[in-house]
Amino acid sequence: MEKEKRKILVVDDELDMRVYISTVLETSGYRAIVTKNGREGVEKAIETEPDLIVLDVMMPGEGGVLMYRTLKTDPKLKKIPVVMLSAVKKEIFFHYLKMLNVKIENNISEPEAYLEKPPDHEDLLKVIKKLLK
């Protein structure tokens, strides 16, 4: 019997990035669930209970930050490891996360992993493997 594939939710507003990441995932034995904005992302996270989430934090409109905050403040969803993708350097991202935590009451934790966009496919798979162990 085939082992059930691990589900990974991918949230990115750019079509090309969604294709790239889901291709990398699907060809490595994972099942990719793909959405294009934070609102859909949260809905899918609740509906499909993925094993891991790959999230582009700086999408315009329904931003990735809002989704991230929703995830990390929900008792069930916060257990899902998040690989944060961002086009900015890690230090800048974490600086901004600190600023955000100054403003809001419930501090949101750092993501389990952080990768700069576009992620190297090997790096991405390594990080995911580690988090899913």
Partner 1 sequence: MNIVTLQPDGSVFESHRHLSEDPLEFLGYKVEIAKGVTLRAFFEMIKKYPLLARLNPFLPTYLKHYGLCAEKDCLYPNMNYLELDKTVEMIGFPGEPRLEIYITLHGVKENKKIDLKDIGLDSLLDMPLILGKLKHVVMGDKVDIFEFDTVFTFFEFIDGIVWELSFLGTLTGCPLRR
Partner 2 sequence: MFNKILFATTASPTCDSAAHVAFDLAKKYNSDLYVYHVLGLPSRGFGHFAMDARTGETEHVGPDYEAWVIDEIHNTYAKQLAEFKTAFVETLAGVPHTEILRKARKENVDLIVMGAHSREEDKGAMRYRSIVGSTMQKVAKSARCPVLIVARPCTTCLWYFSNIIFGTDFSKASDSAFTFAFHMARHIGSKLWIFHAMDMSSMHAGKVHSQNEIEDKIKEARKKIDEKYVSKMGDYDNYEVEVWEGIPYVEILKFAREKNGDLIVMAHHTRDIDPDEALLGSTVEQVVLRSNCPVASVNRPDHADLNI
Residues that bind partner 2 (CB under 8 A): 13-20, 22-24, 26-28, 60-61, 117-122
Paired with 52 in beta bridges are: 8
> Which residue matches tokens 């899913």?
132
| Residue number with CB closer to partner 2 (60 or 75) | 60
Q: Which does 96 bind (CB under 5 to 8 A by kind): partner 1, partner 2, none?
A: partner 1
Residue 108 engages partner 1 in binding (rule: CB under 8 A): no
Which is nearer to partner 1, 30 or 71 (by Cβ)?
71
Binders of partner 1 among residues 71 to 100 (CB under 8 A) are: 87-88, 92-93, 96, 99-100
Query: Is residue 72 packed enough to be buried (19+ CB in 10 Å), middle (13-18) or exposed (0-12)?
Result: middle
Given partner 2, partner 1, none, residue 30, with its beta carbon under 5 to 8 Å by kind, binds: none
Q: Which does 15 bind (CB under 5 to 8 A by kind): partner 1, partner 2, none?
A: partner 2
- Tell me how far the alpha carbon of residue 98 is from its chain's centroid: 19
Is residue 52 within a helix (H) or strand (E), and if so which, with residue range? strand 52-56
Environment class of residue 19 by beta-carbon count within 10 Å: exposed (0-12), middle (13-18) or buried (19+)?
A: middle
